Amino acid sequence: MSLAVNTIIADDHPLFRSALRQAAATSVPEEHIKETSDIDGLFALLSAHPEIELIFLDLTIPGANGLQALSQLRNHYPDILVIMVSANETPAIIKQAMSLGAAGYIPKSSSLDVISEAISHVLNGDTWLPPEVDLTDVVINDEQSEFARNLEKLTPQQYRVLAMIADGLLNKQIAFEMSIQETTIKQHVSAILRKLNVYNRTQAGILFNQLSQVGKIEES
């Protein structure tokens, strides 16, 4: 039975977008599925269609910067389900994605039946991982994991400030970019450090940039 779940497939591989659309059609009517091939297109669709409820996000889609795109989605659109899709089946990467709030992780090697099963599980309110993946003994950096979880505590504006801190911008430069007072930026920075439980802006920037390194070595 198909549900009227408004969906975006964000993947730069046309063949896999087609496969995802075919698999999703068992649960989601085709007219409710939109497609994009990069992150800018994804956020443009989200701005134009606030009714979106489900996103398939390719780990290495242009502009994603590793898991930064997932963290931004979870921060800006916490009510939208995000299923990661990737050719990378490294357990540590899968665990990091799930710790950031992904609802599922679908390897691109999966059959259409498996993809359909994953979609059904997620739409039923469950998380989904490949049956052969066991994350029980997978160890990832505790500091990075806590940081990832805490990102959802930031407001969208604080998230934007953090991204600019990670790019090396000073408070004065951030204030100029956002057209607000430098004192307001200082207040944001203090709140960011408190919410992320980090000591200083350098540590926050390093941990944020580490998210961009996830999945760099993957399919071409």
Take residue 104 and report the two structure tokens written for it.
């599922």
Q: Is the pLDDT of residue 54 over 50?
A: yes
Domain CATH number, residue 175? 1.10.10.10
Task: Specify the number of domains making up the chain.
Answer: 2
E-state strands within 41-170:
54-58, 81-86, 104-107
Scanning the structure block, which residue is given the tokens 């599922």? 104
Question: How far is the C-alpha of 73 from the C-alpha of 139, rounded, in Å?
Answer: 25
Do the domain assignments include residue 133? no
pLDDT score of 216: 53
Measure the CA angle with vertex 156, ends 63 and 165; round to 5°: 65
pLDDT digits (tens, 9 = 90+) for 60-95: 999 988 888 999 999 999 999 999 999 888 888 888
The tally of CA atoms less than 13 A away on the side-chain side of residue 37 is: 6
> Do 105 and 195 reside in the same domain of the chain?
no
Domain CATH number, residue 106? 3.40.50.2300
Task: Pick the more confident residue, 190 or 130.
Answer: 190
End-to-end CA distance of the chain: 36
Q: Which domain holds residue 194?
A: 142-213
> Do 58 and 20 reside in the same domain of the chain?
yes
Full-model pTM: 0.82
Do the domain assignments include residue 14? yes
Task: Tell me how far CA of residue 191 lies from CA of 34, 147, 205, 215, in angstroms.
Answer: 36, 14, 14, 30
Mean pLDDT of the 165-171 span: 94
